[in-house]
Structure 1
Amino acid sequence: MTARIALLLLSLALFPATAHAQLRDLCPERPGLDTPPCIVDKGHFQIEMGLVDVTRDQTAERRSTTITLGDAELRYGLDNRTEIRASWASYSWRRDLDRLGGGRNHISGIGDLSLGLKHALLNPAGDALSLAIAPAITLPTGSHAVSDGSWSASFQLPFSYALSESLSLIATPEIDAAADGNGHGRHLAYGSAGGLSADLGEKWNASLEMQIIRDRDPDDPSTQALSSVSLAFKPAGTVMLDAGANLGLNRATPDAEVYIGISRRF
């Protein structure tokens, strides 16, 4: 069933685009670390899917590899300023290698379901100076091995400002009620992503970003720091392909992550 849902979403994303008059520019929430403040046009759906995502992390004691397939988000425009969103990872697989003892451990399963809303306070098209609010809740619907084990919630304040016709400043401050690592209860997490987004002609866009998140898990408090580079190509007005890489900047952050994906409005 999981594979069928993922294939259905992928087929919709790849379905030939048709022309839509007087719609805003396509503005997916992927790739990159930031959430853009733009809103999907009223009455339209948008599918954004990570086709393959690979994360690698290594310490003196352990090496982990995580592969996620079909990390999908569905967005729908309720009105000119508001959209609803649902995101779900259809399949995740992780292998842990004990570098000291040589033991191996594998886990896999489907991810948790997140439901959210985004409302534009300024410029829902995402141009000029744009600002939005984006609350969300994550439900522990995934497989036991990969689920957070408890509900969590987040509140983001997506922001963008056009520095020129082709260059924009982007930022996404957030505060979370994050699930504890043991799956029982919640704790405070907060931080922000930010960076620059540049249009490279009519069809290409590149972004450079950083993110710092302070996670106050009672059992394992940490501060994660990421840098990110991403590239997007828009072959048609309603379709975007993307690729990106994230690099951890400290020991609390996974070493590296690479991914490719596709977004489609219909």
Structure 2
Amino acid sequence: MRAFYPTFLLSLALAGPAAAQANHPLNDTIDVDKTHYTLFNPTPRKYMRPMVPDRPGITESPYSVDAGHFQYETDVLRLLTRREGPQHGHDWYVNHFLAKIGLTDRTDFQVALDTYTYSHNFNDAEAGPSPFDQNQLNRGVGDLTLRLKHTLVGDDDSRGALGLVGYVQLPTGGRVGDGGYEPGLTLTGIFQCTKTWSVGGQVANNYFFDPEAGQHFYQLTPTLTTDYQFTKLVQGFVELVGYWDTRQSAWHSSVNLGPQVDISSNVQLDFGAHLPLTHSVDREYFLGLSFRR
């Protein structure tokens, strides 16, 4: 796995020049200069690029929202289950959303909020006079995250694109939040192999806060994803995710997969699963929705 990620990054770097040689754009149907459109001078709807949400996988889209337009992406419902020795638990997420507004043709501003989290943890190793002594239940509104995305190269007129996402998570969630400021920076890319098949991936650099240790730690999260458009209505994706952090010198991995349903050019429904390939990775099942105006 370690030798794979440098090769993948090199492929992304080569995607830009290859995309510039493409004669027919695959991500848009209209070749027009949109650089003069802004938040206060929105891109006309007939010139908008196809909607490419950051969900349902972990890999971010390198494409920003068109200037002056709004996009909303949400985990309508997500279930996480976990087990590590005698400790186990589950979380329910309701409407963990990401709202975006296009500032320019290549940059958008985003706000993410964990609207409601129900977290229940158990420790079978703890003994007490009552079963409730072994349980920990937290619920409420989670953390707020501010994000900025910029498309570096590519976009409407090319087969490939690279994007950069910077963000900071604010500790607003109390007992259901992470408990500290968490900054991060992600480099993401995609290459459209054909009109129906694309490959992409990213390298995410995060500083997570560990409330038990009371300190931050660095985590590297590379991904590789591919999706295929089976019909105008249905597409599917498979995503490989790796995790490494400074708390332990070992790689962990998981796989995401599921279908996406294009209800219209502005509405997308998705559902699927996030399955662990190694230990210390949560198992997840999700139902999501994305739309724009």
State TM-score, norm by structure 2. Answer: 0.78
Contact 2:255 2:275 in 1 (8 A): yes
Root-mean-square deviation (Å): 1.9
8 Å CA contact 1:226, 1:246 repeated in 2: yes
Moved more, 197-206 or 74-83: 197-206
Structure showing the higher helix proportion among its residues? 2
- For residues 67-93 of structure 1, give each alpha carbon's deviation from its aligned partner in whole angstroms, at most 9, with x where no partner exists: 010101001111111111111110111
Question: What TM-score does the superposition give when structure 1 sets the normalisation length?
Answer: 0.86
SS in 2 for 1:252: coil
1:1-266 mapped onto 2 (5 Å cutoff): 20-100=45-125, 101=127, 103-125=134-156, 128-143=159-174, 145-182=175-212, 184-217=214-247, 223-254=251-282, 256-266=283-293
What is the identity, as a one-letter code, of the residue corresponding to 1:226? S
Unaligned runs of 5+ in 1: 1-18
Q: Distance in 2 between matches of 1:238 and 1:97?
A: 42
Decide whether aligned partners of structure 1 residues 113 and 171 sit closer, same or farther in structure 2, where only a CA change above 3 A counts: same
C-alpha distance in structure 2 between counterparts of 1:114 and 1:137, whole Å: 6
CA shift for structure 1 position 108:
1.2
Query: Matched residues in 2 for 1:262 and 1:86: separation?
Result: 16
SS in 1 for 2:45: coil
Larger radius of gyration: 2
Gaps of 5+ in 2: 1-43
* Aligned-partner residue type, residue 128 of structure 1: R
CA contact (8 A) 1:148 1:183 kept: no
Runs of 4+ residues deviating >6 angstroms: none
Higher RCO by CA contacts (8 Å cutoff, separation 6 or greater) = 1
The 3-state SS of whatever aligns with 1:21 is: helix
- Contact in 1 for aligned 2:64/2:102 (Cα 8 Å): yes
Mapped partners of 1:104, 1:75: distance in 2: 37
Is the CA contact (8 Å cut-off) linking 2:148 and 2:166 kept in structure 1? yes
Aligned residues: 244
